[in-house]
Amino acid sequence: MASNFTSRFFLLRLRAKVALLTLLAVLLPNQFASAVAPQPAQKVLFLYSWQSVLPANLEWDSGIRKALESTEGRGIEFHTEYLDLAHHPEGTYLQSLLNLLKTKYSGQKIDLLIPVGDLAFSFLQAHGNALFPGSPIVFCAVVKQQLEALKPPPNSSGVVAWVDVQGTLAAALKLQPKTRRVAVVGGIAKTDRALEHIAREALRPYEGQLEVTFLTDLSMAEVLQRMSSLPPRTVVIYLNMLRDSTGHDFVPLEALERVAQAANAPVYGLWETLLGHGIVGGHLMSFTEQGRLAGELGRRVLNGAKPENIPVIYEGGDVYAFDWRQLQRRGLKESALPPGSLVRFKEPSLWESHKREVIGTGAAFSVLSLLVVGLLINLGRRRRAEGSLAKRLKFETLVAELSGQFVAVEAGKVDQEIDQGIKRLVEFLGVDRGRLWQLSGPQGEFIPTHSWAAPGIRAISLPPAQRFPWIRSQMLQGIPVTFSRPDELPREAEIDRQSLLADGINSALCIPLSVGGKFIGALTLSALRSLKAWDPGLAQELRPIGEIFANALIRSVADNELQQGELKYRIVADFTYDWEYWQNPDGIWRYVSPACERISGHRPAEFLKRPGLLRDLIVPEDQDRWDRHNCVSQKDPSGRELQFRIRRPDGSIRWIEHACQPVTDDAGKFIGVRASNRDITERRQAEISEQQHREQLAHMTRVATLGELTASLAHEVNQPLNAVMNNAQAALRFLHRENPDMQEVGEALGDIVRDGKRAAEVIQRLRQFLRPGEMHAQAVDINQVIEETAALTRNEFQASNIRIRFSLADNLPPVWADGIQIQQVVLNLLMNAKEAMEQAGSNPRELLVRTEQEDGETVKVSFRDRGPGMTSENLEKIFEPFYTTKTAGMGLGLAISRSIIASLGGRVWAAPNPDQGATLAFALPIFKEEHR
């Protein structure tokens, strides 16, 4: 009952709600409609790097908007942020900026982000994901170098700002061929610095030809002062000046106006916006055009294209443009401008400026004739316009088709496609021959790589290095060359003219090509059978096509290089003298170099078949070490080394020096071991014979040293012998008494046994010491060696009245050494100290023998004497063979000591003491398990 009531009540409430919604829908038709519309307006956010007042911003803005607004259907909502990062790169400003943007845009879906300039782009790089997750990016005016350094995010594409310092300089040099100096003006803001960097790179090739000065760390006042006193034959390139060295901020245009006003030489620039503010001109970046290109890309993104599928536009929106007034002011000839240059702010000609007066005074002319003339002009104009429009369309189509073709072309077919492209271009332009030249070789020669010629025309001629020096130099400066007749070439092009005549070339169009700002070659089109009149600006228009070819060429070279590279590494690996291999974690061999056969007697195929073959080849004694090595080597990224022996099928033993390293993929995953095996059998044999020599020599010097020690040694043996004899004789007497004292006899016999052992030990030590045997490194207690050796020489030191003090470290780890050889070293150093003190007649005569652990790796043993000390000259020489300051001895003791210690991986050195005498010391590696 209760539940029934509840459900009825619920129904009623539901009905009421539906009614309310319907009412709302009627009252608010628009909102309702937009709520159900499938596509709301798309949101585009502009992020400018700088403050809002920059004139360039407006140009970009208009370019981008124009292109974007042509997007069909959906409306676009524009948002703009001026990040002003050049003036405030970090700190609290950045934090507030982030907060502001978060507040403004969180929860909003931005459909397209357009960062303008490097700083906005890198800002997005760092914070874009947090602020605008998932929003695609189309950047504009990001400098190429910056783009490369930033490694753009995957969902981005855009337009690179091509700051063509070289193009501008080339234009300036064309206008002022006698130029000797270039002054480059810039500032210290981040953007200024980036431009300075680009300019420095770009001007490097001119070093030696031109004297380049950077005025980038000066105050505005200093810059202006310098501008007013520039030496003759100088051109100024104005980069940008947002901030001068005193920290004063400028709008770059205003800064330019002041610089240009002060300059006693022409000022050239890099941006179109600068035109009209004091620059003569240059190869200028057009912000509007750049904006348009970026807008086009943006449109594609808004229409659903993925940015990662849209190639970045590297060069575009640039133009050779000049200010007519500046040309006049600086006395520069318009005729010397690069072909296709735009000349702005040209003052109207006499006719233009005095049109009204002319018309007024020319009233005598009949209106009719005027009309006729006017109509004729109009008609001609229209025809020309129509013709050029059609031609233009065809041209655009050609460009589009060629670009399309090359985007998809396979690496192997690039050459063929370039040939085809040249053919189409040649046919389109109605010329006879087209060629692509590549700049290569150390002398920068132009090598023809692709060519197409009309039937009956010779396709290839000689490289133009010597035959066309002038054209070549123009190309190298990035200046296109066009002529309808060879006569049109300037006087300095005489050689070129002769070559052209010899080749039968009438007209030609030569376009320098660059890819990514790097000059790589040229495209030439020539007419042999007719004279060709070129449209002005054609060279400029053909540039994109040439660069399509150039890009393709570069790609084919790169592809080829990649293939060549693989081949190269394969050859390197296959022909390497050592036995190289790469083994998967599961033990399967991925690669075994053919040298394995020479070394192991087994062919690579045998290894590939049998994963365990290498281990099986290793002699049984070394297999344990190999297994232990394998365990650790896979984890040690620094690589490991091991020496082992293998038995070849013919039974012979080879020594292998093995070095390996774990290989990991980009994600750090272990994907195998790369190793190199070197046959060191001969080296080992040489080492062994060297070691034998060293051992022989060491033995000789041991014998010699012991010769010097005869007295001490005799004493060491005599003492216990003496005791033995006395005890034995005493025992006999006790025994032969009438009442034999058996207790005394027993005690005497006990002492005899003890002293007999003692004597035997001395003899044993001597025998070991004198044994000419080979070296056996093992764990050695260095303190014990010192004590035993000191015992041998004790008498010697007593005789010389020298006290030996020992400071032997407790818990000293064992060292990796041969006990006998170390004893020899200790003996040599003891004797050296003794003799030094004897000679000097030192007082007090004291030798301090100290052992200590140096670090985790070595144990140090030092002998500090109070002898005469040594000069720096002695210090160097004492370890040399046959060097001795003593009257007796061969001078071999210390040399042998050094060679012994060195062979054990230790070191020996000597140093004067601050007070008196010298310290000789050696350090030996601590014994480690892996030594076994």
The residues near 530 (Cβ < 8 Å, ≥ 6 apart) are: 506, 507
Between 711 and 760, whose beta carbon lies closer to other proteins?
711
Instruction: Report the alpha-carbon distance of residue 543 to residue 133 in Å, rounded.
Output: 39
Binding flag, residue 659, other proteins (CB under 8 A): no
For 641, phi then psi, to 5°, come to -130, 155
For the chain, counts of helices (H) and of strands (E):
30, 29
CB of 732 to other proteins, least distance (A): 8
CB of 684 to other proteins, least distance (A): 46
Residue 267, both tokens: 């000022």
Binding flag, residue 77, other proteins (CB under 8 A): no
Binding flag, residue 928, other proteins (CB under 8 A): no
- List own/partner pairs for 3-9 with CB under 8 A and 24 or more apart: none
Please pick, from the candidates 99, 361, 397, 729, the single residue that binds other proteins as defined by CB under 8 A. 729
Instruction: Report the alpha-carbon distance of residue 435 to residue 555 in Å, rounded.
Output: 18
Instruction: Report the alpha-carbon distance of residue 253 to residue 220 in Å, rounded.
Output: 13
The residues near 118 (Cβ < 8 Å, ≥ 6 apart) are: 49, 141, 142, 143, 146, 150, 191, 194
Binding flag, residue 766, other proteins (CB under 8 A): no
- Check if the beta carbon of residue 94 is closer than 8 Å to that of residue 120: no
Tell me which stretch binds other proteins (CB under 8 A): 23-31, 72-80, 260-268, 745-753: 745-753
Binding flag, residue 751, other proteins (CB under 8 A): yes
Tell me which stretch binds other proteins (CB under 8 A): 427-435, 658-666, 728-736, 849-857: 728-736
Binding flag, residue 557, other proteins (CB under 8 A): no
Residues in the chain: 932
CB of 778 to other proteins, least distance (A): 31
Tell me which stretch binds other proteins (CB under 8 A): 405-413, 515-523, 713-721, 761-769: 713-721
Please pick, from the candidates 744, 781, 788, 846, the single residue that binds other proteins as defined by CB under 8 A. 744
784-813 residues near other proteins, rule: CB under 8 A: 794-795, 798-799, 803
Beta strands in 784-874 (DSSP E): 803-808, 815-817, 846-853, 858-864
Token pair 């600068």 in the structure block, residue: 274
Coil vs helix vs strand at 260: helix
Between 528 and 830, whose beta carbon lies closer to other proteins?
830
Binding flag, residue 454, other proteins (CB under 8 A): no
Instruction: Report the alpha-carbon distance of residue 111 to residue 39 in Å, rounded.
Output: 12
Between 661 and 726, whose beta carbon lies closer to other proteins?
726
Please pick, from the candidates 160, 500, 617, 724, the single residue that binds other proteins as defined by CB under 8 A. 724
CA–chain centroid gap for 628, Å, is 37
Please pick, from the candidates 49, 727, 842, 884, the single residue that binds other proteins as defined by CB under 8 A. 727
Angle between helices 681-708 and 742-770 (to 10 degrees): 130
Binding flag, residue 136, other proteins (CB under 8 A): no
Binding flag, residue 725, other proteins (CB under 8 A): yes
Angle at 928 between CA 926 and CA 932, to 5 degrees: 125
Binding flag, residue 750, other proteins (CB under 8 A): no
294-313 residues near other proteins, rule: CB under 8 A: none
90: left (phi over 0), alpha (psi -120 to 50) or beta: beta
Closest CA to 78 of 56, 53, 100, 111: 111
CB of 710 to other proteins, least distance (A): 8
Binding flag, residue 756, other proteins (CB under 8 A): no
CB of 758 to other proteins, least distance (A): 7
Binding flag, residue 127, other proteins (CB under 8 A): no
Query: What element of type H or E holds 504?
Result: none
Query: What element of type H or E holds 722?
Result: helix 710-736
Tell me which stretch binds other proteins (CB under 8 A): 53-61, 564-572, 700-708, 730-738: 730-738
Binding flag, residue 720, other proteins (CB under 8 A): yes
Closest CA to 632 of 926, 928, 925, 924: 928
- Check if the beta carbon of residue 61 is closer than 8 Å to that of residue 292: no
CB of 642 to other proteins, least distance (A): 50
Looking at the DSSP bridge assignments, the partners of residue 453 are 433
Please pick, from the candidates 50, 468, 734, 879, the single residue that binds other proteins as defined by CB under 8 A. 734
Binding flag, residue 845, other proteins (CB under 8 A): no
Please pick, from the candidates 74, 684, 733, 877, the single residue that binds other proteins as defined by CB under 8 A. 733
CB of 819 to other proteins, least distance (A): 26
CB of 803 to other proteins, least distance (A): 8
Between 727 and 884, whose beta carbon lies closer to other proteins?
727
- The identity of residue 189, as a single letter, is A
Please pick, from the candidates 211, 606, 708, 747, the single residue that binds other proteins as defined by CB under 8 A. 747
Binding flag, residue 711, other proteins (CB under 8 A): yes
Instruction: Report the alpha-carbon distance of residue 559 to residue 572 in Å, rounded.
Output: 19
- The identity of residue 252, as a single letter, is P
One character per residue 660-699, x = contact with other proteins (rule: CB under 8 A): ----------------------------------------
CB of 800 to other proteins, least distance (A): 10
Burial call 864-890: b when 16+ CB within 10 Å, e when fewer: bbbbbbbeeeebebbbeeeebbeeebe
Between 135 and 793, whose beta carbon lies closer to other proteins?
793
DSSP for 507-555, written as a single string: EEEEEEEEETTEEEEEEEEEESSS--PPPTTHHHHHHHHHHHHHHHHHH
Three-state SS for 641-688 is EEEEEEECCCCCEEEEEEEEEEEECCCCCEEEEEEEEEECHHHHHHHH
Between 407 and 711, whose beta carbon lies closer to other proteins?
711
Between 11 and 753, whose beta carbon lies closer to other proteins?
753
CB of 848 to other proteins, least distance (A): 16
CB of 705 to other proteins, least distance (A): 17
Tell me which stretch binds other proteins (CB under 8 A): 100-108, 222-230, 545-553, 729-737: 729-737
Between 61 and 716, whose beta carbon lies closer to other proteins?
716
DSSP for 183-247, written as a single string: EEEE-SSHHHHHHHHHHHHHHGGGBTTBEEEEE-SS-HHHHHHHHHTPPSSEEEEEEE-SB-TT-
CB of 899 to other proteins, least distance (A): 32
Between 323 and 755, whose beta carbon lies closer to other proteins?
755
CB of 751 to other proteins, least distance (A): 6
Residue 926, both tokens: 């601590």
Between 664 and 798, whose beta carbon lies closer to other proteins?
798
478: left (phi over 0), alpha (psi -120 to 50) or beta: left
Binding flag, residue 723, other proteins (CB under 8 A): yes
Binding flag, residue 757, other proteins (CB under 8 A): no
Binding flag, residue 721, other proteins (CB under 8 A): yes
460: left (phi over 0), alpha (psi -120 to 50) or beta: beta
Per rule CB under 8 A, count of chain residues that contact other proteins: 31
Please pick, from the candidates 718, 784, 853, 913, the single residue that binds other proteins as defined by CB under 8 A. 718
Tell me which stretch binds other proteins (CB under 8 A): 108-116, 566-574, 741-749, 774-782: 741-749
- Chain residues that interact with other proteins, rule: CB under 8 A: 710-711, 714-715, 718-727, 729-731, 733-734, 744, 747-748, 751, 754-755, 758, 794-795, 798-799, 803
